């Protein structure tokens, strides 16, 4: 499972845009994303762990 940042990159490509354009639209500095690429913030790591756990629950229930 991809992390949140990887998912954003994939969704940007699907939408025909990139992270720089997305940051401009959202009013977020591109350097924020650059920092996240070096060290993913703990809050995003927590969200990734929750998403992974949810996927595991879905898999268990469908088995």
Q: Give the pLDDT confidence score for residue 1 in this predicted structure.
A: 61
- What are the pLDDT tens digits along the chain (63 aa)? 678 889 999 999 999 999 999 999 999 999 999 999 899 899 989 999 999 999 999 999 998
Q: Give the pLDDT confidence score for residue 40 in this predicted structure.
A: 86
Instruction: Enter the pTM of the model.
Output: 0.72
SS3 annotation, 42-57 = HHHHHHHHHHHHHHHH
Q: Give the pLDDT confidence score for residue 4 in this predicted structure.
A: 87
Contact 40/3 with Cβ under 8 angstroms?
yes
Q: Give the pLDDT confidence score for residue 2 in this predicted structure.
A: 73
One-character DSSP codes across 1-63: ---HHHHHHHHHHHTT--HHHHHHHHT--HHHHHHHHHS--HHHHHHHHHHHHHHHHHHHHH-
What are the extents of the domains in the chain? 4-62
């Amino acid at each position: 499972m991809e992390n949140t940042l990887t998912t954003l990159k994939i969704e940007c490509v699907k939408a025909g845009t990139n992270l720089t354009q997305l940051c401009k639209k959202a009013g977020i500095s591109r350097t924020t994303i650059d920092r996240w690429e070096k060290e993913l913030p703990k809050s995003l790591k927590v969200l990734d762990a929750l998403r992974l756990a949810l996927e595991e629950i879905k898999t268990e229930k469908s088995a």
